[in-house]
A = this chain, B = another copy of it.
Amino acid sequence: MYEFRNDYNSVGHPKVVERLMDQVHTVYPGYGFDQASDRAKEMIQEKIKRDVQINFVPSGTSANILSLTANLKPYEGVVAAESGHIVNDEAGALEAVGHKVVFVESQDGKIKPQALEDYLAQDHDFFNILPKIVYISNSTELGTVYRKAELERIYKACQDHGVYLYIDGARMGSALMSPACDYSLEDLAGLCDIFTIGGTKNGALFGEAVVFCNKALGENFHYYLKQHGVLTAKGFLMGLQYQALFTDDLYFENAKIANSMAMKLAEGVKEMGLDFAYPAESNQIFVSLPEGKLEKLAQTVTFEDFGPLEGDRECVRFVTTYHTKEEEVQGLLDSLRSLVG
């Protein structure tokens, strides 16, 4: 079976697990107030080259919801694209903490800067919530990557209206290593108030690093984590993992492998004349297939069914990771070719 269902399907990168094994007899203080976490934060900070606050959070949903809402008043809300992870994939987590999301127009998973500018410029009366933070993901849920000019324009609109910008970086490695990306991790810290560097989908067992570029927003954040059961008792586990990920650029190397496998896949798909449902820019490739082929495909490949497209087509998602092998990509391409050839 060729495995392309997702990028959180294995324990973690061997170097990450080895780091845990190495430290199996060491005793650490609890709740992330330990030397391993401190060292990991330093290593990330060295890349960012800016005075930021970093907190490790064990899951992507927790990182999103708590970062978004820690600073909201009850009647303030979140602005997002309808394809946002917080909208469709977190089981009402945002609403469960009392906040509402409003939508602005997006394309291929990316908020349109013009639409955001227009929305924020409106009068926001008390019949609905006050917009206070904008959520975008990068790479997006549809595999696309924001360009620097887009982020600049979105962030400016936010700042003009006293609104914060949060970037969900569950797949930040793949975004930054994308051929479509024209900025670095360092640049990113100047383009938003908060962003995350996702570990779970790029080599860690679990863990997201939340980076508060706007440090005021991170004040007492560990209280809020504790309240949600996600101030990990053994916080040093994330410190150790991020140490491994930021040693010899493992985090970026993992993403490069995933992306290069995705680009090989994309080339093959293109060569056989298939269309992409969304631009192929990172480690998630969305292909438009003729109807009725999924069952056969599922016999040799794991993938995610993204539902019907116009014109009797179906959308499937293939995800590559740091452990995807070239022969697996070939296997998948062969399977596709046998379907549509």
Which A residues lie at the B interface, using CB under 8 A?
3, 5-6, 8-12, 14, 17-18, 20-21, 23-31, 58-65, 69-71, 73-75, 77, 88-100, 126-130, 200-201, 205-206, 220, 222-224, 226-234, 236-237, 240, 323
A127 touches B10 (CB 8 A): no
Q: For A12, what are the chain B residues with a Cβ–Cβ distance below 8 Å?
A: 20, 24, 234
Q: Determine which residue in A5, A90, A201 has the highest number of CB atoms from chain B within 10 A of its CB, and name it.
A: A90
B100 touches A95 (CB 8 A): yes
Known contacts A234-B11, A234-B206; decide if A77 and B98 are in contact (CB<8 Å): no
Q: What 4 new A-B contacts, CB under 8 Å, besides A58-B58, A62-B230? A: A59-B229, A59-B232, A126-B222, A130-B220
Q: Give the complex CA separation of A98 and B96 in angstroms.
A: 4
B228 touches A228 (CB 8 A): yes
Contact of A90 among B18, B27, B99, B227 (CB under 8 A): B227
Q: For A206, what are the chain B residues with a Cβ–Cβ distance below 8 Å?
A: 58, 232-234, 237
A95 touches B91 (CB 8 A): no
A30 touches B9 (CB 8 A): yes
Counting every copy of the chain, the complex holds 4
B23 touches A11 (CB 8 A): yes
Q: Determine which residue in A92, A99, A129 has the highest number of CB atoms from chain B within 10 A of its CB, and name it.
A: A92
Q: Give the complex CA separation of A94 and B3 in angstroms.
A: 40
B11 touches A92 (CB 8 A): no
Taking CB as reference atom, which chain B residue is nearest A36?
B11
**How far is the CB of A61 from the nearest CB of chain B, in Å?**
3
Known contacts A17-B20, A23-B11, A234-B11; decide if A229 and B74 are in contact (CB<8 Å): no
| A-B contacts, 20 listed (Cβ < 8 Å) | A5-B29, A9-B29, A10-B28, A11-B236, A11-B237, A20-B20, A31-B126, A58-B232, A65-B229, A70-B73, A91-B223, A96-B98, A98-B98, A126-B226, A126-B231, A127-B226, A130-B220, A205-B234, A206-B232, A230-B230
Q: Give the complex CA separation of A91 and B76 in angstroms.
A: 9
Known contacts A60-B229, A128-B91; decide if A200 and B234 are in contact (CB<8 Å): yes
B220 touches A73 (CB 8 A): yes
A96 touches B223 (CB 8 A): no
Q: Give the complex CA separation of A21 and B224 in angstroms.
A: 32
B93 touches A95 (CB 8 A): no
Q: For A100, what are the chain B residues with a Cβ–Cβ distance below 8 Å?
A: 92, 94-96
A11 touches B26 (CB 8 A): yes
B71 touches A92 (CB 8 A): no
B223 touches A93 (CB 8 A): no
Q: Give the complex CA separation of A76 and B130 in angstroms.
A: 21
Q: For A62, what are the chain B residues with a Cβ–Cβ distance below 8 Å?
A: 228-230
Known contacts A229-B62, A234-B205; decide if A92 and B75 are in contact (CB<8 Å): yes
Q: For A6, what are the chain B residues with a Cβ–Cβ distance below 8 Å?
A: 30
B73 touches A71 (CB 8 A): yes
Taking CB as reference atom, which chain B residue is nearest A87?
B128
